[in-house]
Structure 1
């Protein structure tokens, strides 16, 4: 979301080949975000002009020079600027110039996201994938006067793909940051997912306080006042000892809700387990808010509760006009509390609010939006039973993110093939999904064309044709067989069906890929470096159609099959494909 964007080129040279007069200035005690911002600024300068700006601390400034101040510096304070969560959220940033000084700053990640925008303005920097970074070529790059303020449409964004989720793998953290994500599901969380028993461990408390837990022992008893008091005190200790922006108060991973007589009575009174959960969660949120106000008033912290399994149904009823309203008192969500929602059994080739195809999902979001304006969403963007076939949610990416934004969603974890790269235009998918979550005003077709042109270059027309062929085929499969984009695990088949993939269609796909390969061969002599860049990209994306051919029509190849399978496995290894589905239970054929 662009709030302000005023940029004007000047006659001052920012940098030229092998030289820059600008230095980067960090606070005397920079945080991890500011340090990374300096590192990224140096990296991009080096790409553009082959030299890095000197990086100094404010206390080491010795003379007036051209300076790029990064983060919450004393110089920024003198301008009367202090980033706050209310204005910036976690990832927003500002860039402003005062004469020939530059100030790039945010509350946390915003500082290095601002560096990327500064470099886009000055160098034409654009990041598409790990191996595709664009810099406009020039002998000199001129300084711009700038007044920019941007915040993402979805405040906290995470994609659950191998290269954006496994941040401990070399290069993946930097990649996630450059995609303007910078986090996975667990980053920034003090506790995440199913946490009741982390907050009040059974092994510590059950023997003395069995009534704090449900009769079956699978969850907490949320109507027990003594348990609630202990829960709050435990949270205070955890929060005071651990950095983080979010803390999940999440029930355990089962379908049970406490069925003691008191809880059954409260469910009957309020109408649902979720109403009981919200009364409990709101009480905790109020106590923690009051405690933080006294002990750490500047600390931004969002508590989160889980609309999951027994509590997925929102605590609402309909009024005389059919509009959702709170079912009872005490369920409207406190302002320091968010609700994490999982859109179970969703057809991802349709809109979340499509009441024909996704009635339960639509009702879930509409219902919860009647009691909260701050939702978190854990959603999905692949078939976990089959990573090797394109997941046809392309036309719904932007629309569904827009729907979530309008419902007040501030955090999205979109889980994909987290334990392996895939051959299904994964780089395009990441570029679009990350781009839309940052700025939903971007044109979908223009963004897609930009990626194909920059990433696939000479073979872009062929690769876009191949991509579109699968989309058209999926539209037919959905209309003819009713098989939409589902996530697997009982929701759908593994998709390895002959009626889905006629051999004639697959042969046409292979023909397009062979045309791309022929185009590549023309580059071998004249543009060897480009050939080496594009060849593995073509190879990786060809694996999907080859996988279908082997799985569906393997018996047609007779004695050639074993050789083809081995070649396919070798190519998968070369492209980094680790498994073919989440559980690694599917072979080649």
Structure 2
């Protein structure tokens, strides 16, 4: 009998939520488009309580046409009501105090009560009522899906309490730039909570203002002061920063947090005093924590944050962060094909998480859920999102910044943002149910196939044991989960999605956007394949020409990118128009035949494993590189490029040409010297040409530099090209300790 009663109650609740026929025991909020209810606010309602009442009033009207008046509690008599906020009527429930931004949804036989904790808790309660009981949905930075119904019913004796798993919750995708989306999904935004955030040293003590007069404020590296980081043992720095915060806090007293964090890079101070402190503490975190503790002590009623990131990731050995200091630990070194709790590359992160956890209860985590070098690359970490947030919650992490692609569209941006938002509030939700709801609501009839596409990507990632790197490249995955064969299978699923969405312009456009990452992969890989199958070139006569379909394909891709809201294809990278222009350069470039085309190449020093291109054959594949060092460039790290090309037999040789890349931002520089040698037997080589290259001056622009060597008439089977790598990264680049320069060459043309 008890089980039967439970089943009946569940059925009644489901009918109530859907608001079809009025079930027994339901509160009839609206009947036939008419309501007897009022929305009642406290007499001294807060801003958030007032907004919560307005939002509730607006959506009830949009759903049913009924307009509920909003009144103060002192004007209330005895009509049915929805009590919003800390009204006296709510006190009868004697509910316990809510943590932070939590809320209660309550009802008796007639009335409904929405009570919030701190901040926007009451507003979150209203949005939860709209979503969970009135079937409204805010899927992305698009209008809310609002059902139309004349009857609205809610369950009697409702008692729902929700509190956030994390104190601070942010997911960083285009949808999260929509203010209503933020409130609907109970999210935060850096700019709203922090008076200053992120890498803040130079925002507070800018080198342009202070370095000329006070070089001692900045890091001493190799005996010289340079504007790479601050010298945190310098009293002048402390004084400047204290004065900065005194004014900034006065100007922005509502800011919840203030960041004191190192710049994004290396070059930490090694002056005697900083070195002494860091030796005591086991690394650069020592001076950082001691310094921020001093700032925190100066402003004890304020909360400060700092970044435990790369060189400051490890906890100090002696000093604990002050009680008003929050540590934001980065997971940047972890690959993403497995959860943070198990993947080997996150072992350091796990140790640091435990280490910081032993020192402080104030832990935030800065996590990553996109490929920064290629925002549009398929990035199937979808199944790890819940496991990662559950792991962080279990380790008492109080806040999470889940960094995606910011305000530019990226792989499954709307879905990632939606699922992460739900998990940041409650990591224990049923993620499959949330996914199904999103797919069906956002993609309509195509949702089933989009979901199958994501699962096919995920399955292939695991089956092929591929590495998922936030700084990866879809070209490097051409042999595993993004192989041409796999792409054909994914395309079949997306074809079905397009077919299912036919006749609905909204759904079909969203399917087109979901397809962009796959199309981007095909285009990028076609640069890599070049003259081979799946390349953008096709044979003609004794050479190759551009596939006639490719210019239109690129044009269509760029146009769809702009429709989807793609602003840049990588962090700080190209716009769709710039991407189109790069392709136009490639299309206009006449393919050049060479005696070295597809010739065997032998290297003295190995190619970089992270950027393999075609390994040694990159020099003779008939393809030139562009400004992206990860495609069609032979990348040699820290050593000379010494490449011997075997022409197969002795041939008349009159010139040798090649390009080298200069990309200081990625520590890639022109070689200090280029030398060309020739040989008949591969043992005895003769010098055919040499060129010294001037030391690089400070300039961060990327350039492709052409070098040509005219040779006297000679016969050779072997051509050896040497590019001497810089002995050290130029001082102006501010390289981290141990960082070496790289040299990149694309194609060696022998004529």
Q: Using structure 2 for the length normalisation, give the TM-score.
A: 0.64
Please give the per-residue CA displacement for 1:309-367, whole angstroms capped at 9, x wherever unaligned.
Answer: 4322221xxxxxxxxxxx22xx2233322101122222022232436232322222222
Q: Displacement, 1:434? A: 1.1
Matches within 5 A, 1:46-195: 46-57=61-72, 61=75, 63-72=77-86, 87-89=98-100, 91-97=101-107, 100=111, 102-120=113-131, 122-129=133-140, 130=142, 133=145, 135=147, 139-142=151-154, 144-164=156-176, 167=177, 172-181=178-187, 183-195=188-200
Comparing 23-32 with 365-374, greater Cα deviation is found at: 23-32
The match for 1:487 is 470
* Greater per-residue helix proportion: 1
* More contact order relative to length (CA 8 Å, sep ≥ 6): 1
CA contact (8 A) 2:84 2:114 kept: yes
CA contact (8 A) 1:257 1:273 kept: yes
Partner Cα separation in structure 2 for residue 48 and residue 512 of structure 1:
35
Select 2:453's aligned residue among 428, 443, 466.
466
Partner Cα separation in structure 2 for residue 374 and residue 532 of structure 1:
48
CA contact (8 A) 1:153 1:438 kept: yes
Matches within 5 A, 1:372-451: 372-422=360-410, 424-451=411-438
CA contact (8 A) 2:377 2:473 kept: no
Partner Cα separation in structure 2 for residue 305 and residue 572 of structure 1:
36
Partner Cα separation in structure 1 for residue 519 and residue 374 of structure 2:
14
- SS of equivalent residue, structure 1 residue 145: coil
Select 2:487's aligned residue among 506, 510, 521.
506
In the alignment, structure 1 residue 371 sits paired with structure 2 residue 363 = no
Select 2:554's aligned residue among 550, 553, 565.
565
How many residues matched?
532
CA contact (8 A) 1:419 1:579 kept: no
Partner Cα separation in structure 2 for residue 202 and residue 357 of structure 1:
35
CA contact (8 A) 2:33 2:151 kept: no
Seen in structure 2, the aligned counterparts of structure 1 residues 74 and 141 have a Cα distance that, compared at 3 Å, is closer
Seen in structure 2, the aligned counterparts of structure 1 residues 276 and 581 have a Cα distance that, compared at 3 Å, is closer
Select 1:532's aligned residue among 475, 493, 505.
505
Please give the per-residue CA displacement for 1:199-244, whole angstroms capped at 9, x wherever unaligned.
Answer: 5566777788776554526444434567546644653443243112
Partner Cα separation in structure 2 for residue 377 and residue 234 of structure 1:
26
- SS of equivalent residue, structure 2 residue 139: strand
Select 1:15's aligned residue among 5, 8, 30.
30
- SS of equivalent residue, structure 2 residue 39: strand
Q: Displacement, 1:161? A: 0.8
In the alignment, structure 1 residue 44 sits paired with structure 2 residue 95 = no
Seen in structure 2, the aligned counterparts of structure 1 residues 266 and 496 have a Cα distance that, compared at 3 Å, is closer
In the alignment, structure 1 residue 267 sits paired with structure 2 residue 278 = yes
Q: Displacement, 1:108? A: 0.8
Partner Cα separation in structure 1 for residue 213 and residue 426 of structure 2:
52
CA contact (8 A) 1:14 1:21 kept: yes
Partner Cα separation in structure 1 for residue 206 and residue 345 of structure 2:
41
Structure 2: stretches of 5+ with no match in the other structure: 1-12, 17-23, 527-533, 539-545, 584-751
In the alignment, structure 1 residue 250 sits paired with structure 2 residue 271 = no
Q: Displacement, 1:158? A: 0.9
Partner Cα separation in structure 1 for residue 94 and residue 434 of structure 2:
37
Seen in structure 2, the aligned counterparts of structure 1 residues 305 and 550 have a Cα distance that, compared at 3 Å, is closer
CA contact (8 A) 2:106 2:113 kept: yes
- SS of equivalent residue, structure 2 residue 322: coil
Select 1:548's aligned residue among 510, 516, 521.
521
CA contact (8 A) 1:126 1:135 kept: no
The match for 1:323 is none
Partner Cα separation in structure 2 for residue 345 and residue 578 of structure 1:
26
- SS of equivalent residue, structure 1 residue 255: coil
Seen in structure 2, the aligned counterparts of structure 1 residues 425 and 199 have a Cα distance that, compared at 3 Å, is closer
Please give the per-residue CA displacement for 1:403-445, whole angstroms capped at 9, x wherever unaligned.
Answer: 21122222211111114113x3322222211111111111233
CA contact (8 A) 1:10 1:142 kept: no
Q: Displacement, 1:30? A: 5.0
- SS of equivalent residue, structure 1 residue 358: helix
Q: Displacement, 1:379? A: 1.8
The match for 1:295 is none
Partner Cα separation in structure 1 for residue 59 and residue 537 of structure 2:
51
Q: Displacement, 1:584? A: 3.1
Seen in structure 2, the aligned counterparts of structure 1 residues 544 and 246 have a Cα distance that, compared at 3 Å, is same
Partner Cα separation in structure 2 for residue 69 and residue 235 of structure 1:
41
- SS of equivalent residue, structure 1 residue 392: coil
Comparing 440-449 with 191-200, greater Cα deviation is found at: 191-200
Please give the per-residue CA displacement for 1:369-406, whole angstroms capped at 9, x wherever unaligned.
Answer: 22122211222111112122221212211111112112
Seen in structure 2, the aligned counterparts of structure 1 residues 513 and 212 have a Cα distance that, compared at 3 Å, is closer
Matches within 5 A, 1:171-320: 172-181=178-187, 183-199=188-204, 214-215=219-220, 216=225, 218=227, 219-224=229-234, 228=238, 231-232=241-242, 234-242=244-252, 243-289=254-300, 292=301, 301-315=302-316
CA contact (8 A) 2:138 2:181 kept: no
The match for 2:49 is 34
Comparing 231-240 with 44-53, greater Cα deviation is found at: 231-240
Seen in structure 2, the aligned counterparts of structure 1 residues 514 and 132 have a Cα distance that, compared at 3 Å, is farther
CA contact (8 A) 2:65 2:150 kept: no
Seen in structure 2, the aligned counterparts of structure 1 residues 194 and 512 have a Cα distance that, compared at 3 Å, is closer
Q: Using structure 1 for the length normalisation, give the TM-score.
A: 0.80
Partner Cα separation in structure 2 for residue 545 and residue 198 of structure 1:
39
- SS of equivalent residue, structure 1 residue 559: coil
- Structure 1 or 2, whichever has the larger Rg, is 2
